[in-house]
């Protein structure tokens, strides 16, 4: 929690300096878009997309807003549900949203294919990939080879779906024998419960929610079992914003990471906060997701600082993807990560 308090102090000091300078110039505030409310006019309006719908794993953004971490850092944040890596990247790159989490490997795949650019990662959310195939007992899926002949659902462009050919190759699965159908992030578990598909793309921490929705025991095939070096979600912003407003990006990142740290330490409260903002929340499942996610957030060998990213590990991931023929173009760690903005270990 020491680093959390330090981040809040730095953010508050920076904000106070900015407001003092503005007041000294006789202006009315740097943000004039909000109109009559003087307090809100002082805050920078930001649109933040969650990674994948509104589940417990994304509660930390709502916590950062509810506990005032965003406000203390100078932001008025609107939180909207994301639709996975394939949806968050274009929204952030185009400026429709300013920040959002994506799976780093999914970002590498999109950048390496030339499908998208103009975004950079500025902090890690999870130090290890949480991507997985989720199913339930009775579907006949106990190991990767059992996926052949099965029907799976996920959002187009999600990291689970985009990375599946590489996972299948490394796990000895014939990817051509697996059928994928489109699904909405928030509706995937209901699709699995209905029996219309045999499995869904999911994060491993979704296990409690899968069981709550389906009423059956979940079975998970984590991608990390065959690709252990991959990072999980990272916070991204547009290349333009990172270049033009680096201190603003740092302030937002620090406030969000404080929400993440608080959520992991107070999972039940975080789930309650999510429930107050998202009607469909199952508080028990949301809290359980956060408790499972804690092990994926803690950095190895970097003290208590969350959010760090290591260029060497990213380079190893890129090499693995290149060797699996998943990256048509080479990508360097510096192309996808702005290490000047990433929290220091």
The two tokens of residue 74 are 């100078």
| 219 & 269 share domain | no
- One digit per residue, the tens of pLDDT, for the chain of length 345 reads 334 443 444 344 443 433 333 334 333 234 434 443 444 458 999 999 999 888 899 999 999 999 999 999 999 999 999 988 989 999 999 999 999 999 999 999 999 888 788 999 999 999 999 999 999 999 999 999 999 999 999 988 788 998 999 999 999 999 999 999 999 877 899 999 999 999 999 989 889 999 999 999 999 999 999 988 899 999 999 999 999 999 999 999 999 999 999 999 999 999 999 999 999 899 999 999 999 999 999 876 545 689 999 999 999 999 989 988 888 888 999 999 999 999 998
Residue 325 included in any domain? yes
Long-range contacts of 309-313 (CB under 8 A, 24+ apart): 309/121, 309/123, 309/124, 309/231, 309/234, 309/337, 309/339, 309/342, 311/337, 311/339, 313/229, 313/231
User: CATH code at 276?
Assistant: 3.40.190.10
Last residue of a domain, one of 211, 226, 241: 226
Half-sphere exposure of 9 (CA within 13 A, CB side): 6
Residue 37 included in any domain? no
| 241 & 329 share domain | yes
Based on the structure, what is the number of domains in the chain? 2
| 121 & 266 share domain | yes
| 245 & 119 share domain | yes
| 70 & 139 share domain | no
Instruction: Give the residue numbers spanning the domain of 58.
Output: 44-129+230-335
Residue 110 included in any domain? yes
Last residue of a domain, one of 192, 226, 260: 226
Residue 10 included in any domain? no
| 191 & 247 share domain | no
| 322 & 258 share domain | yes
């Amino acid at each position: 929690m020491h680093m959390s308090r330090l981040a809040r102090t730095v953010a508050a000091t920076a904000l106070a300096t900015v407001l003092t300078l503005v007041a000294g110039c006789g202006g009315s505030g740097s943000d004039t878009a909000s109109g009559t409310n003087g307090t809100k006019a002082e805050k920078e309006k930001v649109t933040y997309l969650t990674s994948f719908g509104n589940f417990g794993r994304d509660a930390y953004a709502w916590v950062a807003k509810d506990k005032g971490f965003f406000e203390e850092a100078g932001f008025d944040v609107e939180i909207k549900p994301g639709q996975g890596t394939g949806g968050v990247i274009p929204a952030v790159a185009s400026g429709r949203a300013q920040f959002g989490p994506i799976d780093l490997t999914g970002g590498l795949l999109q950048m390496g294919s030339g499908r998208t650019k103009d975004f950079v990662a500025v902090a890690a959310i999870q130090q290890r990939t949480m991507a997985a195939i989720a199913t339930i007992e009775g579907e006949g899926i106990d190991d990767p080879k059992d996926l052949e002949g099965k029907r799976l659902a996920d959002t187009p462009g999600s990291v689970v779906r985009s990375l599946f050919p590489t996972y299948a190759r490394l796990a000895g699965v014939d990817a051509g024998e697996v059928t994928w159908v489109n699904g909405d992030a928030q509706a995937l578990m209901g699709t699995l419960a209905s029996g219309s598909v045999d499995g869904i793309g999911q994060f491993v921490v979704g296990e409690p929610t899968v069981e709550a929705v389906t009423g059956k025991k979940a079975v998970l095939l984590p991608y990390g079992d065959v690709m252990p070096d991959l990072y999980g979600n990272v916070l991204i912003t547009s290349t333009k914003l990172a270049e033009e407003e680096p201190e603003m990006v740092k302030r937002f990142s620090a406030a969000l990471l404080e929400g993440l740290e608080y959520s992991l330490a107070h999972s039940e409260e975080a789930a309650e906060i999510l429930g107050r903002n998202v009607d469909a929340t199952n508080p028990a499942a949301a809290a359980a997701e956060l408790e499972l996610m804690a092990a994926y957030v803690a950095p190895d060998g970097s003290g208590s600082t969350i959010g760090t990213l290591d260029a060497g590990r990213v380079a190893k991931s890129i090499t693995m993807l290149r060797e699996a023929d998943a990256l048509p173009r080479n990508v360097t760690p510096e192309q996808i990560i702005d290490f000047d903005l990433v929290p220091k270990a």
